[in-house]
Structure 1
Amino acid sequence: MTLLLLGAGGFFGAISRYLLSSYGNERFSSLPFGTLAVNLIGSFLLGMAIAVELSSTFYALFATGFLGAFTTFSTMQTEAVKLFDDKKRLQAVLYLVITFLGGTLFAALGFILIMR
């Protein structure tokens, strides 16, 4: 049953990521804004999910399945490499800094909001 929930969450997370990241990346050309947005939103929601202490069943569905497929480390890495390759070094560094620091801050914020 857990594998089915994990798969269902992953299915909807991947579709959501595709729609949001495609829209955001098309609207903002200077940075891969769509991918940045899904990673920051996913970090925030995962911070909340950890603070709530979800049941193992719902954790598999939402945190591991949905958010695992919704966020994307590999796409972020390849977009950063593409920015470097396109000689957009400042944008690449900015993108990586915002992703890593912002993701950590958003996860902490989600966790803190639930814990209070």
Structure 2
Amino acid sequence: MTLLLVLVGGALGALARHEATTRTRERGATAAGATMAVNLLGSLVLGLVAGAVQSGAPDWLLPLLGVGFCGAFTTFSSHAVEVAAAIQEQRARHALADLGLSLVLGVALAALGWWIAA
């Protein structure tokens, strides 16, 4: 059953990522900006799911939404490639800012979500 929950959540997360990235890019965001926006939203959602499960929500929400949806919705690999590209293009300040913002804001949003839902 857990495998099926992860599978369904992952399919929905991948579709949501495509839509969110496409719409964010249509509004003028760069690829790195779209990735950051999606990853930060995913951090908030994961925090909400973790907090809800900790507070008594059904355990099946974690594999469906936490692992499946958020796992497919967010991406570390795209972020890593964008940071590496910035470094290769000699935009080290951009790369460091991207890394710092992603880490600080991602953790802050996950904590906020957890706090809201718990």
Task: In structure 1, list runs of 5 or more residues that go unmatched.
Answer: none
Q: Does residue 49 of the first structure (1) align with residue 49 of the second (2)?
A: yes
1:75 and 2:51 are equivalent in the alignment = no
Counterpart CA distance in 2 for 1:24 and 1:88 is 23
* 2:51 matches 1:65: no
The offset of 1:5, in angstroms, is 1.6
Residue 28 of structure 1 aligns to a residue in which SS?
A: coil
Matched residue type, 2:38: V
1:112 has 2:115 as partner: yes
Calculate the TM-score normalised by the size of structure 2.
Answer: 0.87
Task: Give the deviation of 1:59 after TM superposition.
Answer: 1.5
Aligned-CA RMSD value: 1.6
Please, which runs of 5 or more residues in structure 2 have no aligned partner?
none
Amino acid paired to 2:72: A
Runs of 4+ in 1 over 3 A off after TM superposition: none
> What is the number of equivalent residue pairs in this alignment?
114
Equivalent residue for 2:90?
87
* 8 A Cα contact 1:21 1:34, kept in partner: yes
1:21-40 aligned within 5 A? 21-25=21-25, 27-29=28-30, 32-40=32-40
Given the superposition, is the C-alpha separation of residues 99 and 20 from structure 1 closer, same or farther in structure 2, using an over 3 Å criterion?
Answer: same
1:17 corresponds to: 17
Contact kept? 1:24, 1:35, Cα under 8 Å: no
Instruction: Say whether the 8 Å CA contact 1:83–1:92 is kept in structure 2.
Output: yes
Shift of 1:56: 2.7
